[in-house]
């Protein structure tokens, strides 16, 4: 396993609240775990954008309803 490195971030109030909310809603054990998971998701999305995929389709399994989510930064990276 790779050796862990300590990294310090500074957040404005709004961003810190957002991170706390992600931690709670995602039931992460720490804010660091929430950041790690978010980085993995972002990396996966960027990898797909490099292949031309820039929209997400999400489905409600109870109703079958679908929505398309457009993430502007993915469109910018695929240009």
User: pLDDT tens, 6-39?
Assistant: 889 999 999 999 999 999 999 999 999 999 999 9
Q: Do 69 and 59 meet the contact criterion of CB atoms below 8 Å apart?
A: no
- Give the model's pLDDT for residue 17: 97
CA-based nearest residue to 41, from 63, 56, 27: 56
The pLDDT assigned to 71 comes to 85
Per-residue pLDDT band at 73 (split at 50, 70, 90): confident
Specify the pLDDT at position 66: 98
Task: Give the residue numbers spanning the domain of 21.
Answer: 13-78
Specify if 54 maps to a domain. Answer: yes
27 occurs within a structural domain: yes
Inside any domain, residue 7: no
Is 38 within the bounds of a domain? Answer: yes
- The number of domains in the chain is 1
Instruction: Quote the percentage of the chain above a pLDDT of 70.
Output: 94
Report yes or no on 3 lying in a domain: no
């Amino acid at each position: 396993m790779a050796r862990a490195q300590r990294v310090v971030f500074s957040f404005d109030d709004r961003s810190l609240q957002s991170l706390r909310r992600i931690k709670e809603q995602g039931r992460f054990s720490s804010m660091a775990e929430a950041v790690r998971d978010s980085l993995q998701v972002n990396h996966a999305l960027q990898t797909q954008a490099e292949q031309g995929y820039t929209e997400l389709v999400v489905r409600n399994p109870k109703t079958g309803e679908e929505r398309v989510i457009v993430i502007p930064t993915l469109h910018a990276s695929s240009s």
